[in-house]
Amino acid sequence: MRNLFLFFLALYSASGLAAPDQLDNSCGPILDVTVRSLNENKQVNLCKAYKNKVVLIVNTASKCAFTPQYEGLEKLYAKYKNKGLVVVGFPSNDFAGQEPGSEKQIQSFCRLTYGVQFPMFEKTRVRKKYADPLYKNLGEAANEYPSWNFHKYLLDRKGNLVASYSSSTKPFSKQLVKKITSLLEE
């Protein structure tokens, strides 16, 4: 019996397919990146951390007309996190220098001003020409890179891009909430 198992394992390996027990570990190529938590040295593999979660990824800034969206993003996260939603923020200074602070300053601002508890990660480049790996993956999958702060990308539980929303889409917009709730029910 053991030889038969080894034979099938070798067959899967030779075919380039994942072994059956490895299939559950896949979350798609978009999230197959490791990033650093905001103001920490902790490295987080997004695929492992958010496997089987609906993920809303947002590039953020502290000095932007859309900055009050932090409040809605935190409320969205609080309302749906127990059902499987995670909101993740990536501060970026790519647009008009609207995120000039240090990571410590950003973290303090988000927590003290908006009570942000959703995961925040290192300052990130999001514009097409200079995009960090995650945003390169997102931009290519959506065929759209952020054109301003608070652009939103929504991924299903398998890590596939489902939708891309402009900065003007508010966290509790009908279309975004409807899409999130439908993904959470799948």
Q: Give the separation between CA 158 and CA 32, rounded to whole angstroms.
A: 12
Examine residue 48 and state whether it is found in any structural domain, yes or no.
yes
91 belongs to a structural domain: yes
Burial class, 53, CB count within 10 angstroms (exposed 0-12 / middle 13-18 / buried 19+): buried
pTM: 0.86
For 61, the domain range is 24-185
Q: What is the pLDDT of residue 23?
A: 38
From first to last of its 186 residues, the chain has per-residue pLDDT tens of: 444 444 444 444 444 443 333 434 568 899 999 999 999 999 999 999 999 999 999 999 999 999 999 999 999 999 999 999 999 999 999 999 999 999 999 999 999 999 999 999 999 999 999 999 999 999 999 999 999 999 999 999 999 999 999 999 999 999 999 999 999 998
16 in a structural domain: no
In a domain, 138, yes or no: yes
Instruction: Let me know if residue 12 belongs to a domain.
Output: no
- Residue 112: inside a domain, yes or no? yes
**Rounded distance between C-alpha atoms, residue 152 and residue 161, angstroms:** 11
Q: What is the CATH number of the domain that holds 114?
A: 3.40.30.10
92 inside domain:
yes
Residue at 142 is within a domain? yes
Count of domains for the chain = 1
Cβ count near 66 (within 10 Å): 18
The pLDDT assigned to 44 comes to 96
Residue 47 annotated in active site: no
